[in-house]
């Protein structure tokens, strides 16, 4: 059966493409040699050398045999007596890295579990035990269990909104949950650009690997320059790598500054003072506390856009707008409007909110 052979890190993109065209057969992706994946093609898919495949070969291989519906069915026979409730019921995948919480009673069988998962999920390269979040950078403690290609590296690439992003879940915080928020940041900045009538300088001092940036940088005539950074050196390494890919061939941004520094010290750098039009504040446990220290970054001549994310006790939610007003007026600014909206599904006692305001500097 004809399969499109693609590099494994491009599997998601090609799956989406073939699915949208109606060229994807339902037999499932097969693993091919050389870290490639075979996507089963229907009769309707174009001929093997068509330009649309962008140089990827179309190969004839056996379709994937209809296998078990769940990875547990691939466990060795001697573990079949254990009830399904014994095994983890959920896992998370970032790129080709699967992360799963392993309870102490499962640990003796974790390698067998990882092998079953790798067999079931051909797009997964590495299975890791997730021992929880730790430290000031809130990164996960990951224990690599088994890899399909021998590499135990947790560095991997994800796709979001059509863009590739290098991430490393054992070294840098990244959450796909805010993906819709990143689209909304783009829309908010486009509206703000329209009201200001010029390109904008954006600051993202808690950028992590930089997921908020590619959509902004790709939007024509939106960004004049950027100031981005993170306190975690591992984040800054991936942020720089990502920026190299995202701005390649694009118009020159000025400033184009990447720093590894505590955001609260940014106001000690003369070149940062009064430099930005848009400030993103994504340190949810501390965002509101940090606001005052970040105000000097705004170009306090025109209007500015502040957008951030915070975790607040539900009982303190109604006090949030006032905290934002206070930080802005201490800096001699005036909030034209403040919105604080809850992003659903966090916890019953605490809320995850997105806040936004346009600041006037009279
Ligand atoms: C919640 S993450 C957000 C990362 C990224 N913006 C995203 O959406 O994936 C917060 C980031 O802030 C960084 N960080 C923590 N304290 C910081 C500080 N004082 N100054 C700068 N960055 C800090 C962490 O290393 C982490 O990458």
How many CB atoms within 10 Å of residue 69? Answer: 8
Q: What is the CATH class of 2-60?
A: alpha beta
Burial status of residue 226 (CB atoms within 10 A of its CB: 0-12, 13-18, 19 or more): buried
Quick check: 153 pLDDT over 70?
A: yes
CATH of domain 176-360: 3.40.50.150
Quick check: 132 pLDDT over 70?
A: yes
The reply to whether domains 71-154 and 176-360 share a CATH topology is no
Measure the CA–CA gap between 11 and 19, rounded to whole angstroms: 12
What pTM, to 2 d.p., does this model score? 0.84
- Cα 277 to Cα 84, 199, 202, 273, 299: the distances in Å are 53, 9, 6, 11, 6
- Sorting pLDDT into bands at 50, 70 and 90, what band is 249? low
Q: Is the CB of 23 under 6 A from ligand 1?
A: no
Asked whether the beta carbons of 149 and 125 are under 8 A apart, the reply is yes
Of these ranges, 5-9, 53-57, 69-73, 304-308, the one predicted with the greatest mean pLDDT is: 304-308
Quick check: 348 pLDDT over 80?
A: no
What's the CA-to-centroid distance between 213 and ligand 1, angstroms?
14
Quick check: 183 pLDDT over 90?
A: yes
Measure the CA–CA gap between 203 and 275, rounded to whole angstroms: 9
Look up tokens 């900045």; give the residue.
Answer: 189
Q: Is the CB of 210 under 6 A from ligand 1?
A: no
173 CA closest ligand 1 atom index: 27
What's the CA-to-centroid distance between 191 and ligand 1, angstroms?
26
Domain boundaries, given as residue ranges, for the chain: 2-60, 71-154, 176-360
CATH of domain 71-154: 3.30.300.110
What's residue 223's pLDDT? 97
Taking only the tens place, the pLDDT of each residue in 113-127 is 999 999 999 889 999
Q: Is the CB of 308 under 6 A from ligand 1?
A: no
Q: What is the mean pLDDT of the chain?
A: 94
Q: For 330, what's the count of Cα atoms within 13 Å in the CB-facing half-sphere?
A: 12
Q: Is the CB of 352 under 6 A from ligand 1?
A: no
What's residue 251's pLDDT? 64
């Amino acid at each position: 059966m004809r399969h499109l052979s693609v590099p494994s890190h491009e599997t998601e993109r090609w799956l989406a493409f073939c699915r949208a065209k109606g060229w994807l057969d339902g037999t499932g992706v097969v693993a091919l040699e050389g870290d490639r994946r075979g996507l089963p093609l229907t009769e309707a898919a174009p001929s093997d050398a068509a330009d649309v495949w962008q140089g990827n070969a179309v190969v004839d291989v056996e379709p994937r045999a209809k296998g078990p519906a769940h990875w547990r069915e691939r466990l060795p026979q001697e573990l079949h007596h254990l009830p399904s409730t014994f095994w983890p019921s959920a896992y998370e995948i970032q790129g080709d890295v699967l992360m799963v919480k392993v309870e102490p009673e499962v640990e003796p069988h974790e390698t067998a579990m990882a092998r079953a998962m790798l067999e079931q999920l051909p797009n997964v390269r590495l299975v890791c035990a997730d021992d929880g979040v730790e430290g000031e950078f809130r990164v996960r403690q990951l224990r690599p269990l088994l890899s399909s290609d021998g590499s135990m590296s947790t560095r991997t690439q994800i796709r979001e909104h059509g863009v590739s992003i290098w991430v490393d879940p054992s070294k840098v915080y990244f959450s796909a949950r805010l993906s819709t928020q990143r689209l909304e940041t783009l829309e908010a900045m486009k509206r703000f650009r329209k009201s200001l009538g010029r390109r904008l300088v954006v600051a993202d001092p808690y950028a992590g690997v930089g997921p908020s940036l590619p959509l902004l940088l790709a939007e024509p005539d939106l960004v004049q320059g950027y100031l981005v950074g993170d306190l975690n050196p591992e984040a800054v390494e991936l942020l720089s790598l990502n920026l190299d890919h995202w701005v390649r061939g694009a118009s020159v941004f000025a400033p184009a500054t990447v720093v590894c520094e505590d955001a609260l010290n940014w106001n000690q750098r003369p070149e940062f003072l009064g430099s930005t039009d848009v400030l993103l504040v994504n340190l949810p446990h501390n965002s509101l506390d940090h606001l005052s220290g970040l105000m000097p970054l705004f170009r306090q001549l025109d209007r500015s856009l502040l957008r951030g994310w915070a975790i607040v006790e539900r009982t303190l939610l109604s006090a949030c707008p006032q905290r934002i007003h206070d930080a802005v007026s201490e800096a001699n600014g005036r909030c034209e409007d403040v919105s604080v909206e809850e992003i659903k599904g966090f916890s019953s006692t605490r809320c995850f909110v997105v806040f936004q305001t346009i600041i006037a500097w009279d």
